[in-house]
């Protein structure tokens, strides 16, 4: 955790001119020590009523700024339009999905991100490429997504449109003039759902993916990251999170470990050097393809990945008799069928990684039927926001 010089109770100067409007960094006016205290209180409040919890510790983020490796920006209309400025590109203010904040700065991704937004905004207005208007169901530009390796010089720009019809050479030039993108992609999404996911994809430059390396005290792991694959958004914080799980697994001299909701294999691959066998389960086909490619890239022969929903596949994995099971579910937490299958399987250890303290508390109360709690650690992977990761080590009674 970086050193904090201000008092936990002193207000601190905000860095971003959009503070109070954007809603993304709602805590940046508070000293970082106070942010950590508030997040610790949040986790404790959510876990109230879970009996037998050990003392909660919280670890601060290695970097307070420019830590995010992924950002999704949205396009929108300027209304009423003015001459030479009729397009917005930025964030949706919290609670106002129908508005776009025309972002001029952001201190969560790399410093070059703001320059990229300005360049793409000017490109769209110069080329007269209209933003998508969901009310009128017309327009072209929907989202601009960036993914940045923090330990390698690789970056991705993914433009999501309704039909993929844009002046491609000038778009590439607008990106490369201000932003060190190693791959640029053009995607199409004509669906009504306002998501930054492309149904079809064209690689304009580069390989169509980036590679990131996570470093641990006893080794390193490379990860291929595709446009739609999941990867923790704080690279340096992820090294701390995965490093903790890796250390716990190494303590066990584990034979088989299950990694449920494994995404692109982030946790599974970080545990491959600490266990005899790791089996990952994920329902996103693109993420599973990344996980398999990542295992091959690193030369890991002890990793298997299955594309299926956890609640459907988990009962069939009972015969594996894993020494430990890692669960890293989405914000909704464990599916009831998954919780039931875990209780039936009853592995000696469960490592629960949670991005939502409320659903974590609910699931721990269910798993308490057969498990005690050895460690509870909160890790701040999202400075200046109210989000926090929590890891719980459960041991079968």
Count Cα neighbours of 164 within 13 Å in the Cβ-side half-sphere: 13
Smallest CA-to-CA distance from 281 within 341, 241, 362, 234 is with: 341
CA 173 – CA 116 distance, rounded (Å): 11
Only one residue has tokens 């890891």, namely 391
Smallest CA-to-CA distance from 216 within 238, 184, 195 is with: 238
- Which token pair is 361? 């508390």
**Residue of 25, 262, 303, 355 with catalytic role:** 355
Q: Are 303 and 269 in contact (CB under 8 A)?
A: yes
Residue 57: phi and psi, rounded to 5, are -115, 155
Smallest CA-to-CA distance from 211 within 148, 162, 280, 121 is with: 148
- Which token pair is 64? 């307070």
Alpha helix positions (H), 129-263? 168-176, 235-252
Alpha helix positions (H), the chain? 32-46, 112-127, 168-176, 235-252, 266-271, 285-298, 310-313, 336-345, 357-367
- CA distances, 213 to each of 67, 148, 208, 223, 294 (Å): 15, 12, 17, 6, 11
Measure the CA angle with vertex 316, ends 315 and 317; round to 5°: 90
Does residue 303 have an active-site annotation? no
Only one residue has tokens 């106002």, namely 96
For the purposes of burial, counting CB atoms within 10 Å of the CB of 300, is it exposed (0-12), middle (13-18) or buried (19 or more)?
middle
Strand partners for 148: 155
Which residues are catalytic, by number?
355
């Amino acid at each position: 955790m970086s050193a904090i010089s201000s008092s936990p109770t002193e207000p601190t100067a905000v860095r971003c001119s959009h503070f109070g409007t954007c809603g993304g960094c709602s805590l940046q006016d508070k000293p970082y020590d106070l942010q950590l205290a508030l997040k610790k209180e949040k986790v404790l409040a959510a876990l109230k009523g879970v009996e037998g919890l050990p003392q909660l510790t919280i670890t601060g983020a290695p970097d307070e700024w420019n830590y995010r490796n992924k950002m999704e920006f949205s396009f929108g209309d300027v209304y009423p339009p003015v001459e030479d400025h009729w397009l917005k590109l930025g964030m949706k203010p919290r609670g106002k999905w129908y508005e776009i904040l025309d972002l001029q700065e952001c201190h969560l991704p790399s410093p070059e991100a703001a320059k990229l937004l300005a360049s793409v905004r000017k490109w769209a207005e110069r080329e007269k490429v209209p933003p998508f208007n969901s009310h009128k169901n017309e327009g072209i530009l929907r989202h601009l997504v960036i993914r940045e390796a923090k330990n390698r010089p690789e970056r991705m720009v993914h433009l999501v449109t309704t039909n993929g019809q844009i002046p491609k050479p000038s778009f590439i030039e607008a990106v490369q003039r201000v932003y060190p993108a190693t791959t640029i992609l053009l995607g199409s999404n004509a669906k009504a759902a306002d998501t930054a996911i492309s149904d079809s994809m064209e690689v304009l430059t580069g390989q169509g993916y980036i590679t990131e390396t996570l470093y641990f005290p006893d080794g390193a792991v490379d990860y291929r990251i595709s446009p739609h694959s999941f990867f923790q958004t704080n690279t340096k914080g992820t090294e701390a999170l995965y490093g903790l799980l890796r250390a716990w697994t190494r303590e066990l001299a584990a034979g088989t470990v299950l990694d449920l909701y494994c995404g692109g294999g982030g946790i599974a691959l970080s545990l491959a050097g600490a266990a005899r066998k790791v089996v990952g389960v994920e329902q996103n086909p693109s993420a599973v393809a990344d996980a398999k490619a990542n295992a091959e890239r690193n030369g890991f022969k002890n990793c298997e990945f299955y594309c299926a929903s956890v609640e459907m596949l988990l009962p069939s994995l009972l015969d594996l008799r894993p020494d430990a099971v890692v669960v890293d579910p989405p914000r909704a937490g464990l599916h009831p069928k998954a919780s039931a299958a875990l209780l039936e399987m009853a592995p000696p250890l469960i490592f629960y990684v949670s991005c939502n303290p409320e659903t974590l508390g609910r699931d721990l109360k269910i798993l308490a039927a057969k498990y005690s709690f050895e460690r509870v650690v909160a890790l701040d992977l999202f400075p200046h926001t109210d989000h926090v990761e929590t890891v719980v080590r459960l041991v079968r009674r």
